[in-house]
């Protein structure tokens, strides 16, 4: 079978999968209709399918981005352009510690000494504070992204009773690619430069410069760390 024909078959199979997935997501969100819903997004290329799906459903969802103070300028630009394209009203949450508070010695920031503490201050604590006013937290994590995420379930509850919904958990990187292709969704400006997983600029490397093989291996290079804490502490 020629490459073009293989691609057509792949897209046809994906459309069948997509129809089923969209129905499940719509039904699940409808079951939350009397609850207050929070969604977080890192605004990477792989974030676009879920953002696009949510933008097309008539369900009130407050979408937040975590501004740690260390996001790439290109990420800020991407947030703005995607928000306009999809008609999204994005809310921002930040930590209480200023960047100056995170200087541990002259010219040295906390992230270079204790990345776990940095993530806790700039990601985990802000989300915990915001989530108090919500019943449901939607996240686009996928099982194929890390060993931690592979153990997650589509619906879980945090210790404080917050319902966590992971609608993309069974999706693969290929599914994400095909959805983006189907709807001509944009890519993060840094992706073409080799950044396949984009987080904070001090802790993100190009995929080709990473010693790991998975798509998140460019994060926290040289550390055993594979998660920021949002999906292990909240």
Mean pLDDT (the chain) is: 84
Whether 229 is covered by a domain: the verdict is no
108 pLDDT more than 70: no
Q: Is 228 tagged catalytic?
A: yes
Whether 65 is covered by a domain: the verdict is yes
Q: Summarize the annotated binding site as residue ranges.
A: 118-119, 200, 203
Q: What is the pLDDT of residues 160-197, one digit of tens each?
A: 899 999 999 999 999 999 999 999 999 999 988 888 78
Query: Beta strands 108-109 and 103-105: pairing type?
Result: antiparallel
Active-site residue among 50, 63, 66, 228? 228
CA-based nearest residue to 14, from 169, 230, 176, 138: 176
Domain that holds residue 99: 3-192
How many domains in the chain? 1
Whether 50 is covered by a domain: the verdict is yes
Q: What is the pLDDT of residues 36-81, one digit of tens each?
A: 999 999 999 999 999 999 999 989 999 999 998 889 999 999 999 9
Q: What is the CA radius of gyration of the chain?
A: 18
CATH number of residue 170's parent domain: 3.40.50.620
CA-based nearest residue to 54, from 161, 148, 165, 134: 165
Contacts of 101 (CB under 8 A, 6+ apart): none
Whether 230 is covered by a domain: the verdict is no
Residues 117, 133: Cα–Cα separation, whole Å: 24
């Amino acid at each position: 079978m020629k490459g073009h024909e293989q691609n057509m078959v792949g897209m046809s199979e994906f459309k069948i999968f997509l129809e089923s997935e969209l129905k499940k997501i719509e039904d699940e969100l409808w079951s939350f209709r009397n609850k207050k819903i929070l969604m977080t997004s890192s605004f990477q290329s792989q974030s676009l399918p879920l953002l696009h799906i949510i933008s097309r459903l008539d369900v009130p969802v407050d979408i937040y981005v975590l501004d740690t103070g260390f996001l790439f300028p290109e990420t800020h630009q991407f947030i703005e352009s995607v928000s306009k394209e999809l008609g999204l009203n994005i809310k921002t949450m930040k930590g209480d510690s200023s960047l100056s508070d995170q200087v541990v010695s002259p010219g040295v920031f906390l992230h270079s000494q204790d990345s776990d503490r940095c993530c806790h201050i700039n990601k985990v604590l802000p989300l915990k504070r915001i989530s108090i006013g919500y019943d449901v937290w939607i996240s686009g994590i996928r099982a194929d992204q890390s060993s931690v995420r592979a153990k997650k379930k589509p619906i879980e509850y945090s210790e404080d009773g917050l319902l966590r919904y992971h609608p993309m958990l069974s999706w693969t990187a290929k599914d994400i690619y095909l959805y983006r292709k189907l709807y001509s969704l944009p890519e993060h400006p840094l992706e073409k430069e080799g950044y396949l997983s984009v987080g904070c600029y001090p802790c993100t490397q190009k995929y080709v410069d990473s010693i790991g093989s998975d798509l998140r291996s460019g994060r926290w290079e040289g550390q055993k760390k594979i998660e920021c804490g949002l999906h292990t502490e909240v």
